[in-house]
Amino acid sequence: MTIVSIWTGFQILWLMLRLVYYHLSEGAESNFPILALSSMENLSQCSKERVWKLMFALSIYEMHSHPRGRYSYQDDLQSLEEWHNSGFPVTPLLYLPDLATSENFHVTISAVIGDTTLTSAAWLRGSKLSGMDLYDSCVLLIRTMGELYSTTAARALCSSVSIITDEEAASHIVSPKGSANPGPDSVRWHYWIPMANDRWAHMTSDTNLKIIGERDVEVWNADETARYLLTAGLNISLRSVKELEEVCQLSRIGYQSLAELME
């Protein structure tokens, strides 16, 4: 693993030095010379695969240096092979259909495209979106009620140990983006998926941060979702439904960059 990390780091450093050189060279027309040389559709299949593998290598490198810790991303899609096997549609839904006839239903999470992959794709496409912009963004592949859906979502790594018993006190517990966490035994992923009719689907990972597989989903209206964000003692920066909506919009934009690369 150490050798792989060193090799990956060297490759990223080499790429960064190339970008700096092209940016500073007289007459340079782009900060992203790799894709400026030719559009993706004009590249050979071999060259496309090199770009795709570079994107996933950069994503994994980000995971190793991410404040959340490498362990937080174990279920995220991490390779070209996993992408091909996932069956992801080109365009995810902005809103999951209102499938629930009650306050709860079940889904199977087949794949997760996380913030590091979206950030890598955006960077390679020349987007101005940064890792902090896409920090809470993700796209999910979900199977439920016999149908397969790709949908945008917001997620946050939250405290799994409740130390707050007073709701008013809990509303003041906030960790900004980029904060470190106490480790895999003390955190859990929370996911929010926008649904039709101004409702939100909410689910959590296991205590070992696994999310792939069958999940129980709670369905809340906007007021219930907002209350949960403020009073559950999650210790995260997301504090309102509006912020969740903004993250989901960014998830969709980030996925567009990924889809353009993977065409």
Q: Is residue 216 part of a domain?
A: yes
SS3 state at 203: strand
Give the count of beta carbons closer than 10 Å to the beta carbon of residue 19.
17
d(CA 82, CA 87): 9
* pTM for the model: 0.81
> In sequence order, what DSSP letters do the residues of 83-147 get, joined into one string?
HHHHT--SS-BSSB----SSSEEEEEEEEEE-HHHHHHHHHHTT-S--TTTTTTEEEEEEEETTE
For helices 45-65 and 2-24, give the axis angle rounded to 10 degrees.
110
Residue 132 lies in a domain: yes
Q: Is residue 193 part of a domain?
A: yes
What's residue 169's pLDDT? 42
Model pLDDT, residue 246: 97
Determine contact, residues 257/146, Cβ cutoff 8 Å: no
**Backbone angles phi and psi of 206, in degrees to 5:** -70, 175
The answer to the question of residue 4 being in a domain is no
Place of tokens 């993250």: 247
Q: Evaluate whether residue 8 is within a structural domain.
A: no
Total domains in the fold of the chain: 1
In a domain, 141, yes or no: yes
Q: Specify whether the CB–CB gap between 135 and 115 falls below 8 A.
A: yes
Mean pLDDT by groups of 10 residues along the chain of 263 residues: 63 60 44 52 86 93 93 95 83 74 82 96 91 96 88 89 46 68 88 92 93 94 94 87 96 92 84
Residue 250 lies in a domain: yes
- Would strands 147-159 and 137-144 be described as parallel, antiparallel, or unpaired? antiparallel
Count CB-CB contacts under 10 A for residue 62: 20
pLDDT attached to residue 33: 44
Per-residue pLDDT at 23: 46
pLDDT of 4 reads: 57
- Supply 198's token pair: 């101004």
pLDDT of residue 8: 66
Q: What is the pLDDT of residue 80?
A: 93
Asked whether the beta carbons of 194 and 245 are under 8 A apart, the reply is yes
Range of the domain at 198: 38-262
Q: Which amino acid is at 70?
A: R
> Is residue 129 one of the residues assigned to a domain?
yes
